[in-house]
Amino acid sequence: QARSLSGNSYRIFDARHLDAGRSLADLEADLRRALRRDELELHYQPRLALESGAIIGVEALVRWRHPRRGLLQPQDFIPLAEESGLIIPLGYWVIDRALRDLQWLNGQGHLALHLAVNLSFQQFQDGQLLSTLQRLFRDRGLQPGCFEFELTETAVMRRSSHVLSTMEALQELGVRFSLDDFGTGFSSFQHLATLPISLLKLDKGFVQRMTEHAADRRLVRAMINLAHDLELPVVAEGVENAEQLALLRQFGADQLQGYWICAPQPLTELSAFLRRHALSRSLHAQR
Ligand code: C2E
Ligand code: MG
Ligand code: MG
Ligand code: MG
């Protein structure tokens, strides 16, 4: 029987997502096995710098190729992973895989790419985070400066002193932090200003509503101005059409992610996209 989960994990209970008679515990056992059997995969979504038109980084997004249920999206299993503690091994798997993939991309000639990985609050509670990252960067010969953790407002607003000290230690290493889904939580700006955040990611909900609603348009402009006053660049998520892009350019957004630029892709498709994009930019520059 379903037990009570917190936050936005209601999708777990959606009957369409559970076979008859199967419980949450079964799904948890499935996920445990998935980690051992390598059923998880990462897709990557490029981040475009508006001014230069260059792809300057990618965000890793986890998927689960479930043997019976097909390709599951994060909302179908991340809440369960967080609730069960499996987010810790899952999170390390994601970081390790993403760093291997970045190393492979570098080998393909995609240099100076920035890698962003989503981090759940629970992962901060694990004492191994800092030392594991240090080891992985060393083993892969990668600079921590190319690495970014995306945190949500709800995670950082918990004001745990442990979170702050871990963030500071990671920052010392060279890791950067961005604030994901900005505008949807309840950020205390005073608290925000004390955190080592170097980028705000404007939630896709605002971006999608702003072409229809003047209020959202004003909010987007205000949030971009606020970020810039705090000397933080802004990434707009969920850019799906040219109209949104034009408004974001007008409002001074710094970077864009969204289906209009590129949907999340498996690694080899990402590499092909990066090559095409770089080629078309260089042909454009020659004209
Ligand atoms: P997020 O980090 O805010 O990621 C953005 C989500 O928006 C992704 O959904 C992405 O596929 C989707 N998206 C990108 N462009 C567009 C667009 O133009 N239109 C629309 N409608 N959607 C777009 P996804 O991959 O389903 O991930 C959902 C959330 O799951 C992520 O939100 C993130 O919070 C979480 N997540 C994903 N991977 C991980 C992970 O490895 N660890 C943890 N802890 N959380 C993860
Ligand atoms: Mg999705
Ligand atoms: Mg994210
Ligand atoms: Mg987001």
CA of 60 to the centre of ligand 1 (A): 9
Residues 133-176 have pLDDT tens digits of 999 999 999 999 999 999 988 777 776 778 889 999 999 999 99
Kindly report whether the global pTM for this prediction surpasses the value 0.90: yes
pLDDT score of 185:
77
Kindly tell me the burial class for residue 250, based on how many C-beta atoms sit within 10 Å of its own C-beta (0-12, 13-18, 19 or more). exposed
- The ipTM of this complex is 0.98
Pocket-testing residue among 12, 40, 61, 237, ligand 1, by greatest number of atoms within 8 A of Cβ: 61
Q: Is the C-beta atom of 98 inside 6 A of ligand 1?
A: no
Cβ–ligand 1 distance for 153 under 6 Å, the answer no
Q: Which ligand is nearest to the CA of 60?
A: 1
Mean pLDDT split into 10-residue runs, the chain, 287 residues: 38 48 76 94 98 97 94 95 95 97 96 96 91 95 95 79 89 96 80 88 96 96 95 97 98 98 98 96 83
User: d(Cα 125, Cα 257) in Å, to the nearest integer?
Assistant: 29
Going by C-alpha positions, the residue among 120, 188, 178, 168 that lies closest to residue 147 is: 178
Give the pLDDT of residue 212. 95
Structure tokens given for 166: 């871990």
265 lines ligand 1 (CB under 6 A): no
Residue 118 CB–ligand 1 contact under 6 Å: yes
Quick one: which ligand is closest to 78's CA? 1
Determine the straight-line distance between the first and last CA of the chain, rounded to whole angstroms: 64
Q: Does ligand 1 have an atom closer than 6 angstroms to the CB of 72?
A: no
For 238-269, how does the pLDDT look when each residue is reduced to its tens digit (9 = 90+)? 999 999 999 999 999 999 999 999 999 999 99
